[in-house]
Amino acid sequence: MQTELLPVNDESLSRAGELIRAGGLVAFPTETVYGLGANALDADAVRRIFEAKGRPGDNPLIVHISRVDQLSPLITGAPSPAARALMDACWPGPMTLIFPKSPAVPAEVTAGLDTVAVRFPVHPAARSLIEAARRPIAAPSANRSGRPSPTTAAHVLEDMDGRVPLILDGGACAVGLESTVIDVTGDTPRILRPGGVTPERIAEICGGVTVDDAVLRPLREGERPRSPGMKYRHYAPTGALTIVQGGADAVAGKIRMLYDAALAGGKSPLILALDGHIDAYGDRRCLSLGADAEAMARSMFARLRDADALGADAIFSEAIPTDGMGLAVMNRLERAAGFNILEADG
């Protein structure tokens, strides 16, 4: 299959809409990461997403809408007051809500679950594509399964060349990591996956929120996570990634030591560090994660891909605090590292 990469304009959007209606796949930009979309109401089209990504069939997809009135045909019952409040405050935007599903949503989309994940993205190209398709669009991230999520059209091409007919190029993603997934089927909203909307913001809107305890730890043997995606090794570069956490000076000291030992052992090491810390690593090979948690969210997946492109086989990354956007950043980084985390203090 020949893959076309087109800028977002009226002509490419209308082509993309036709492709979706015909059961095909289109990769497209959103404010979180690039998505790989298909008609959410067509089981065969949805199956093609799993094939193209090499995605395990038990990992459900998010259904994207471009107007709130597209929600009710996808769900059973009315949204709870908390769900309403979240929709009013955060849609369109990087927030996904889990509702009881309606029979109209194929089991392929929800991986057999009786709930469905729905998001109303704010990115104009994503919204225009859904409008052009005149269908809700099921879309996971547009990477090969297990790879870092794509935040530019070039990343999508890297993973999907020859596997999808069309990639819409809308530049770099503004948030840079995936949406916050919130289960609103119970009394208190529960964050299953941290993302572009912070827990602090959600608590402010709803008065209360639970953060699923699987967010910052590996799953236990045989554990079935509430968010099926949590069970897979995710977001990972090819090189071995180690996270070092603790006070800034101790972290820099430990990473310098690990880097030098790796180099002496014939490895090709690389450091991922916040802007303010880069000087602490002298002339060691170092890539910037940006100045703060928001910048790190935007840059992290690209840096993990850069690490691969540089042939780094021993990657050492600084940790950041888990407040605000830091929770989503560390949730992805810890999975990318396979929970290989070292303590620098003491």
Contact window for ligand AMP (CB under 6 A) among 41-49, 121-129, 166-174, 226-234: 226-234
- Choices 16-24, 37-45, 54-62, 260-268; region in contact with ligand AMP by CB under 6 A: 54-62
Residues 188-217 that bind ligand AMP (CB under 6 A): 192-193
250: number of Cβ within 10 Å: 15
Residues 268-327 that bind Mg ion (CB under 5 A): none
Distance of CA 156 to the CA centre of its chain: 13
**Region of 139-147, 304-312, 316-324, 338-346 interacting with Mg ion (CB under 5 A):** 139-147
Q: Tell me how many helices (H) and strands (E) the chain has.
A: 10, 16
Nearer to ligand AMP by Cβ, of 107 and 341: the residue is 107
Name which position in 227, 242, 322, 331 contacts ligand AMP (CB under 6 A).
227
Neighbours of 104 (CB within 10 A): 13
**Residue 163 or residue 254: which is nearer to ligand AMP going by CB?**
163
What angle do helix axes 326-336 and 293-309 make, rounded to 10 degrees? 20
**Residue 192, binding choice from Mg ion, ligand AMP, none, Cβ under 5 to 8 Å by partner class:** ligand AMP
Taking the C-alpha atoms of residue 193 and residue 316, their distance in angstroms, rounded to an integer, is 24
Quick one: which segment of 41-49, 110-118, 210-218, 332-340 binds ligand AMP (CB under 6 A)? Answer: 110-118
Minimum gap (Å) between residue 65 Cβ and Mg ion? 19
110 binds, among ligand AMP, Mg ion, none (CB under 5 to 8 A by kind): ligand AMP
HSE (CB half, 13 Å, CA atoms) of 97? 33
Q: Which residues fall within 8 angstroms of residue 199, CB to CB, at 6 or more apart?
A: 191, 209, 211, 327
One of 15, 47, 59, 85 touching ligand AMP (CB under 6 A): 59
Given the rule CB under 5 A, which of 4-12, 132-140, 195-203, 218-226 is the region that contacts Mg ion? Answer: 132-140
Phi–psi pair at 205, nearest 5 degrees: -75, -40
**Interhelix angle 81-90/199-206, nearest 10 degrees:** 120
Q: Binding to ligand AMP by residue 297, rule CB under 6 A?
A: no
Binding-site size for ligand AMP (CB under 6 A) equals: 19
The item of Mg ion, ligand AMP, none sharing an interface with residue 60, based on CB under 5 to 8 Å by kind, is ligand AMP
- Residue 162 C-beta: closest distance to ligand AMP, Å: 20
CB of 153 to ligand AMP, least distance (A): 17
Distances (CA, A) of 301 to 106, 225, 270, 279: 31, 24, 15, 22
Residue numbers 81-100 binding ligand AMP by CB under 6 A: 98
Residue 113 contacts which entry, Mg ion, ligand AMP, none (Cβ below 5-8 A, type-dependent): ligand AMP
Q: Is 60 a residue that touches ligand AMP (CB under 6 A)?
A: yes
- The residue assigned the tokens 């002339």 is 283
Q: Rg (Cα) of the chain, in Å, rounded?
A: 20
Q: What distance in Å separates the CA atoms of residue 232 and residue 51, rounded to the nearest whole number?
A: 17
CA angle 305, 38, 196 (to 5 degrees): 50
Burial 115-152 (b: 16+ CB within 10 A, else e): bbbbbbbbbebbbbbbebbebbbbbbbbbbbebbbbbb
Q: Does 141 bind Mg ion (CB under 5 A)?
A: yes
Q: Which residues of the chain form contacts with Mg ion (CB under 5 A)?
A: 140-141
Q: Which residues of the chain form contacts with ligand AMP (CB under 6 A)?
A: 59-60, 62, 98, 110, 113, 115-117, 140-141, 178, 181, 192-193, 226-229
